[in-house]
């Protein structure tokens, strides 16, 4: 161990650690805005910022494969699917009273409990796991790909089917037949008001 490595500590962070902290703060802020904004499209765009920040964090941790998977799948597929769902279903862009159940405290309680359970599971699973940074790379593309397509292939395919079902459901909801309103054209092309006007003119001509 060199003298520079020995003197390095919590009070003397490196440039990578400072960048990691700054990007983490931006990502956290984008995530907070995502769940607090009243505009659905703005929420989707801030979600892009949050997911992109996670990809940058992976790059700073020298996990290039996971970073590009984050960009291709989440930023390039999931967010696009959300935007297509908003457009195809013609969802309200602004705040919609019909979509607000006013159960904010219950939702906050469930969110905090879920976050606590997730943190506890992760800490309990990796409590005694240590990574040797001076040894060979343990997160290479070959190792990650083998673990993904051998141990996690079923959840991976289940997620693909779930995304496909969400896209198909959005298309089905967008193609539902709407009831004809007064003044709209009939399937034959003539509107009811136009038919009544033509009938009146014919009666006047007969007279």
Give all domains of the chain, ordered by start, each with its CATH number: 13-95 (1.20.120.1200)
Q: How far apart are CA 72 and CA 127, in angstroms?
A: 31
Answer yes or no: is pLDDT of 29 > 90.
yes
C-alpha to C-alpha distances, 78 to 51, 68, 75, 187, 207, nearest whole angstrom: 10, 14, 6, 37, 67
What pLDDT, on the 0 to 100 scale, is given for residue 174? Answer: 67
- Taking the chain, what is the end-to-end CA distance rounded to the nearest angstrom? 110
Residue positions counted in the chain? 207
Mean pLDDT of 175-198: 51
Structure tokens at 158: 């289940």
> Please, which pLDDT band fits residue 179 given cuts at 50, 70 and 90?
low
Q: What is the pLDDT of residue 202?
A: 47
pTM of the model: 0.56
Predicted pLDDT at 86: 75
Percentage, residues of the chain above pLDDT 90 = 17
- Cβ proximity of 79 and 48 under 8 Å: yes
**DSSP letters for 123-164:** HHHSTT----TTSS-SS-HHHHHHHHHHHSHHHHHHHHHHHH
Tens-digit pLDDT profile for residues 81-120: 777 777 776 666 666 666 666 777 888 899 899 999 999 9
């Amino acid at each position: 161990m060199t003298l520079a490595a020995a003197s390095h500590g919590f009070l003397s962070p490196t440039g990578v650690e400072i960048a990691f902290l700054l990007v983490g703060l931006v990502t956290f802020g984008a995530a907070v805005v995502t769940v607090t904004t009243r505009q659905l499209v703005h929420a989707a765009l801030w979600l892009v910022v949050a997911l992109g920040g996670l990809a940058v964090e992976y790059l700073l941790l020298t996990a290039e494969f996971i970073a590009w998977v984050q960009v291709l799948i989440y930023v390039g597929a999931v967010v696009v699917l959300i935007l297509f769902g908003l457009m195809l279903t013609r969802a309200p862009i602004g705040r919609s009273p019909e979509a607000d159940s006013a159960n904010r405290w219950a939702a906050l309680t469930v969110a905090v409990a879920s976050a606590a359970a997730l943190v506890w599971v992760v800490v309990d699973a990796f409590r005694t796991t240590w990574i040797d940074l001076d040894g060979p790379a343990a997160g290479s593309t070959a190792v990650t790909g083998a673990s993904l397509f051998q141990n996690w292939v079923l959840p991976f395919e289940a997620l693909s089917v779930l995304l496909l079902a969400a896209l198909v459901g959005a298309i089905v909801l967008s193609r539902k037949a709407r009831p004809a309103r007064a003044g709209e054209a009939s399937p034959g092309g003539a509107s009811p008001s136009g038919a009544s006007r033509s009938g009146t003119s014919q009666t006047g001509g007969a007279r």
